[in-house]
Chain A
Amino acid sequence: MTQSFAVLLQCLLNVAIALLLSPLYEGVLRKVRAAIHSRIGPPITQPYWDLLKLLGKEDLRSRGGAVYASLPPLVLGSLLLLATLVPMGAAAPLSFAGDMIAVLYVAAMSSVLVMLNAFASGSPYAYVGSSREMMMALSVEPILAIALTVGAFKAGTLALGGMLAFQVQNGPSISMTIAGLAFFLALQAQSGKLPFDIAEADQEIMGGPLVEQSGPRLALLRWAMWTKQLVLAFLLVEVFLPWPRFGILPADLAASGVKVLVVLLLVEVVDVVNPRLRIDQAMGYYVRVALSSLSALAFAVIGK
């Protein structure tokens, strides 16, 4: 009884971090973006106000239908589920033997839900955006899988907690460094940043899957995007860069939070100094990243 209560409490903690801190991280990133632009930029709290404003707006719908109306909450929900599967300062609350597979599935689920929602909206821009989203997912998600497989192979377990413990105990290795780097490059696309924000591409297809979203539904989808970048960044630092580990939850959480900020700042700087690639160029790039990341598996096999 007490054990399940503790799990529930931990789940709530992870969900709260993902939900409440993701706009704050976004606010910091906007400040950095503004600085590189020679602008002052909005206050760091602006994303919270954006969400509040959108949540209070009218819900304009291009067409009826349950899929179109109900998917945005599910997109955010799927990412909160992902948050409970990812270690944040402590072991993942919902951890079990195969949680690496579950993480990959749930991460893919959020993109699939976005695509379904876009198809249901009936806009030609959303169709184009969805097909781009699908092509990006197909070329980026294998990289996440390869990177986590390297961890699983090294630690001899599919559990993320096991990989974390193995990393803490054994220190950095060539294979895990390459895998972590590949994961980092995939994070750029997974968090919808330039040069890979091709599925949204405001200037080409007016936001793609988001074009027919408004008010509360748009708020939830924005929130989901910010949550996704935060949770995946946590996954990156916890599995591939878990040092230092104090064993005290608040200290570990703070350390991870700082590392996540550094990772996201790097992602943002790459975003600001790049124009958008075309979908064929982006896919070509990620095929090369995926092939190179296979070398990490080879290193793992020979024990490096």
Chain B
Amino acid sequence: MTTEQEHTLRTVHQVTAERSNGALLSATQPYPDTLHLVVDKKAMRSVADGLVNQLQARFLISVGTDRRPLSGDFGIIHIFSLDRDHLYVLLESPIPEDDLRVDSITPVVPGADWAEREFQDAVGVHPEGHPDPRRLLLPDDWPEGIHPLRRDFPYNFRPPSVENVRPKMREAPTGTSVLPMGPFFPVLEEPAYWRLFVEGETIVGCDTRLFYNHRGIEKLGDSVLTYSQIPFLAERICGICGFIHSTCYCQAVEKAAGIQVPRRARYIRTIMLELERIHSHLLWLGIAGHIIGFETVLMQTWRIREPVMWLCEAISGNRKTYGMNTIGGLRRDLPDEVRPELLNTLATVEKETIAVRDAIIGDSVLRARTEGVGILTSESARSVCVVGPPARASGVAIDARIDHPYAAYDEVPPRIVTQETGDTWARVVVRVGELVESIRLVREALSALPVGPICAEITEEIPPGKVGISVVEAPRGEAIHFVMTGGDNRPYRWRVRAPTYANLQALPAAVMHGTIADVPITLGSLDPCFSCTERLETIDQRTRTVRIYSRAELLEMSRGNRLRGGAR
């Protein structure tokens, strides 16, 4: 621990003591980089205010936990990051069962908006004084008073559905008309509903309804699956950055259980994470082109991207969803034979990416469509707690690879790419810069790849009641996994926050006073991440016959007789 960190820790203690006004219940340091504060719930808002507005801590996410079987109460944890000092601060309050209310911190930390609405839906703790306490993730026909993440809620319970319910949306201000975008809209790959309030072509406000595809993954993690099964589910959280989620989950458990991951595994994780960033950024660049009608960019970047997918297939056996991560390291080594192919592909991709970059930078029409469009000021990026390229394009120099180093990033550090203007063009420039930087990182990690085991020997049970938090810099920004270990070989609570969760909250600010024509590209420039997996194709290696499984067949295979008739 450096002296700077010690100094910061002292300041945190000091501010907490002042702000909590005697309501501080305990302050511990479970890991060198984590400070765990427990305060009485009446001091929650004041301490959060002190952390964010006095110490410039960044709000990450909130976790609501039903701890009735353990300690007879509920727990709300707000997680903060002190980026420069590489520290996490966990701010926890016990919530007694007979008074399920806590002061909302959203009035002092606007970025906590969705996080607080989410624990209200999931465990039923009401954030008092929240400016917009509407339902966030439960379906509109979900009955009141049923909270799916409570321990007494069975994972396979389905409340009866109700026809013709509509989301509670805000009324359009007088003098404006409503232009709906969604729930199905050409540039949205997944259902999402934006109500744009427009005067002519100008946007004067908007309202959203999301989470149409909420899959209840956290619930499965703490009720059905085991520690070592979850990485496979975590990888399926996202169809593009799956490896990021499985890595992030494994790291959280490894931290909670005190498992040391071998150096070679950490390097291979770094290589796979950066390959994922390369193909994700190329994919994004194509989609951004498509959104403004520039199909040539889409076609060419996806052509450049394809060899990267082949490379991932050569390494892991799959284009996507590699299934390589496990707790303690990896299940599959990086074969030495792919090394020449890897270097060749990187060289080609680098050359072609630079050609595309130069073409884009010289394109005056493209710049006319993106410069000064969808501006996210540095202040609003900070206040809404935006992450990843949108944050860096607004001059907020945060990057989980540097702020909370993991895998091998302490030994192969990335160079951070930032821009100051905060417009769509800046977000393009940041991502294209990161693309080239990622290629360098893969090369560097590959040349320094150590030999040795790829997975730690785990001899002891994972102890219950431990807390692990891990962040991974996904292509879209920082993904967060929080794990509280449980006794039955599975987490007691597993909390996931994908980066888009933070970034989408910035859209209303970014589209304000722009035109209808600018909304799709502004939304696209936040790179909202959607996943969709409906079918499976298998190829028999010997006979080369292809078989495609339908959704019904997959359901039959995965659920079998267990749920027949029970599932819809």
Contact = CB atoms under 8 A, between A and B. Distances in A.
A33 B296 CA distance: 9
Interface stretch (A169-177, A238-246, A274-282): A274-282
Interface in A178-233: 194-195, 197-198, 201-206
Nearest to A128: B516
Question: Which of A33, A197, A201, A203: most chain B Cβ within 10 A?
Answer: A203
A38 interface: yes
Contact of A201 (B294, B295, B517): B517
Contact of B290 (A203, A273, A279): A203
Question: Which of B363, B515, B516, B519: most chain A Cβ within 10 A?
Answer: B516
B440 interface: no
Contacts of B515: 278-280
B294 A37 contact: no
Interface string B112-125: 00000000000000
Contacts of A205: 516
A194 to B, nearest CB: 5
Given A37-B299, A276-B292, A124 B185 contact: no
Contact of A275 (B177, B186, B200, B292): B292
B179 A202 contact: no
A253 interface: no
Interface stretch (B90-98, B261-269, B365-373): B365-373
Given A201-B517, A203-B520, A37 B300 contact: yes
Interface string B184-216: 011100000000000011000000000000000
B369 A277 contact: yes
A203 B290 CA distance: 8
Interface residues of B, number: 32
Nearest to B515: A278
Contacts of A195: 293, 365
Contacts of B518: 278
Contact of B300 (A33, A38, A197, A202): A38
B289 interface: yes
A136 B45 CA distance: 53
A277 B186 CA distance: 18
Given A195-B293, A277-B365, A124 B299 contact: no
A182 B177 CA distance: 37
A128 B293 contact: no
Interface string B290-309: 11111111011001000000
Interface in B347-380: 363, 365-366, 368-369
A201 B296 CA distance: 16
A277 to B, nearest CB: 7
Interface string B510-545: 000001111110000000000000000000000000
A279 B293 contact: no
Nearest to A195: B365
A204 B520 contact: yes
Given A203-B186, A206-B185, A275 B517 contact: no
A37 B295 contact: yes
B289 A275 contact: yes
A128 B196 CA distance: 13
B180 interface: yes
Question: Which of A128, A197, A198: most chain B Cβ within 10 A?
Answer: A128
B178 interface: yes
Given A194-B293, A204-B520, A128 B179 contact: yes
B186 A274 contact: no
A36 interface: yes
B45 to A, nearest CB: 41
Interface string A257-286: 000000000000000111111111100000
A281 B296 CA distance: 21
Contacts of B178: 124
A185 to B, nearest CB: 14
B180 A124 contact: yes
Given A203-B186, A274-B294, A124 B517 contact: no
A206 B185 CA distance: 8
Interface in B144-158: none
B185 A275 contact: no
26 contacts: A37-B296, A37-B300, A38-B300, A125-B179, A194-B293, A195-B293, A197-B293, A201-B517, A203-B187, A203-B292, A203-B293, A204-B516, A272-B296, A274-B293, A275-B294, A275-B365, A275-B366, A275-B369, A277-B368, A277-B369, A278-B369, A278-B517, A279-B515, A280-B515, A281-B368, A281-B369
Interface of A: 33, 36-39, 124-125, 128, 131, 194-195, 197-198, 201-206, 272-281
Given A124-B178, A204-B517, 18 more contacts: A37-B296, A128-B516, A131-B200, A131-B201, A195-B293, A202-B293, A203-B187, A203-B293, A206-B186, A272-B296, A274-B294, A275-B289, A275-B292, A275-B363, A275-B369, A277-B368, A280-B515, A281-B369
Those 7 A-B pairs whose CB atoms lie nearest each other, nearest first: A276-B293, A37-B299, A275-B294, A275-B292, A278-B517, A203-B187, A203-B291
Interface of B: 177-180, 185-187, 200-201, 289-297, 299-300, 303, 363, 365-366, 368-369, 515-520
